[in-house]
Amino acid sequence: MPTLEQLEKINSLALGVLNMSRNSLLVNMRFMDTALGRLMFAPMGSEKTSTDGEYFYYDPMYILRSYRREKEFPGRQYLHAIFHCIYRHMFIGTLVNERYWNLACDIAVENSINGLELDTVRISAVPLQNSAIQKLSGRVKYITAEMLYRYFLDNEPSESYLSALEKLFCIDDHEVWYRKDERQGAPSHSNKPQPNNNGEGESQPDQNGKNNQNGGGQDNENNDENNGNGQSQKELEQLWKDVSEYIQTALETLEQKRGTQAGGLTQNLLEVNREKYDYTAFLKKFAVMGEVMKINDDEFDYIFYTYGLQLYEKMPLIEPLEYKDVKRIREFVIAIDTSGSVSGELVQRFVQKTYNILKSSESFFSKINLHIIQCDAEIQEDVKITTQEEFDNYLKNMQLRGFGGTDFRPVFSYVNTLIKNHEFTNLKGLIYFTDGFGTFPERQPDYHTAFVYINDGYENPDVPVWAIKLVLQPEEI
């Protein structure tokens, strides 16, 4: 059993290794300076390292043994934890397959590190990792945690394959990501040190002489929203979001100047920093003002109404208005790209989701004029919907037609013809569901237009300046 003095010496040596590794990373990756200095070192009793977004937890003896075996390994573990934070892997909900998510995150992180080709963090497992990643690259478009996780869910891997991948890529512990409530005040973390500026930790005793994880004897309340160190999970997530966006901007600048090898890093940053869309709110932008028969409580004067009842006995002086202006979808076009590159299942899900949004929250007028147009390089079908019953019947019997090339112009020409023929009186919106690889019209139409892409990568083309571009994940439909 080592003495207290020996333990302090061991921890001091481990801290020296970690600080040296971090300084080496800072020298080689100046664009990541805001991230590399963010985590504070905290000695713990676990064999593997881990992070919760604020601390880098390590076992001093484990760090020293790792350094003796492979001097690049401690630095790689620290960089591995930093990438988890940059990609915000730990800020997740509870409804995930933990094993799949852990593995997907570790593969994405290790691939990013390998892509940097830094000698200071190159370990002996890199060739085997690259070989496994090469095989995965044939199954997923990009090696990101989100895409890998989706792949594992859709194609349940065998136990032997999972174990082999975990042995290659899982070099840290993610338990702290899922056990936030247990982590707060748990025995293994009750002596959590309060690090100083150089990352070293020193436990702070409270008024009773016991070590307090807050570092100041303060009562740690509201643990559900606080990570036990004075910062809430939302604050930590926002902090790393800012760091992540800063690094993405710095990488884009480097690419413009001299190119970069950080392909895996760039792909993951694009995924995690992409703008998230609320399709329900987006669709409501196409609503138009219209009059419906409904009591308008906002413009009803109760004073005159009750005064009339008192004065004339059951004879109100003023009646409530029986109509009001509300936003409803009256005239609308849904264009569906039925070229070979758009899958039928996604199309049906998109139409179903659009229908559900329109149907909910009084989105429809009692009479509507909705055209659902299928088109590849030419118009394949136009179905007119005037009632919810017709919409229901269309969804039940929907069949995709076409599967040729992609040309957006026929739809716009066709809709313009419908307008000239007075099929529409006040068309305000057209949503085009597509993969985006087609010919756009040269002129801006007289109605709002949006192109909705399904994100299977990051190569969706830009739309004309007059159109709205919306990128959704398959699970968002």
- Three-state DSSP at 239 gives helix
Closest residue by Cα to residue 339 from 408, 387, 426:
408
Q: Grade residue 456 by pLDDT with cuts at 50, 70 and 90.
A: low
pTM (global) more than 0.75? no
Report pLDDT digits (tens) over 306-329: 666 666 666 655 555 554 555 555
In which residue are the tokens 């057209």 written? Answer: 430
Mean pLDDT of 148-164: 92
- Please report the pLDDT score of residue 320 as a whole number: 53
DSSP secondary structure letters along 379-437: EEEEEEE-SHHHHHHHHHT------S--BSHHHHHHHHHHHHTTS-SS--EEEEEE-S-
Q: Which two tokens stand for residue 106?
A: 């570790």
Report pLDDT digits (tens) over 355-404: 777 666 445 555 678 899 998 888 999 999 887 788 888 888 888 777 77
Lowest mean pLDDT among 13-17, 98-102, 249-253: 249-253
CA distance 129 to 109: 11
Strands (E), 126-270: 194-195, 201-202, 204-205, 211-212
DSSP H or E run through 249: helix 233-258
Considering only CA atoms, give the Rg of the chain. 30
Is the four-CA dihedral 164, 168, 174, 178 of positive or negative sign? negative
Report pLDDT digits (tens) over 116-125: 889 999 999 9
Cβ atoms of 457 and 141 closer than 8 Å: yes
> 253 or 471: which carries more pLDDT confidence?
471
Q: Which two tokens stand for residue 44?
A: 């713990």
DSSP secondary structure letters along 294-320: ---GGG--HHHHHHHHHHHTS--SSPP
> 5 or 188: which carries more pLDDT confidence?
5
Cβ atoms of 193 and 202 closer than 8 Å: yes
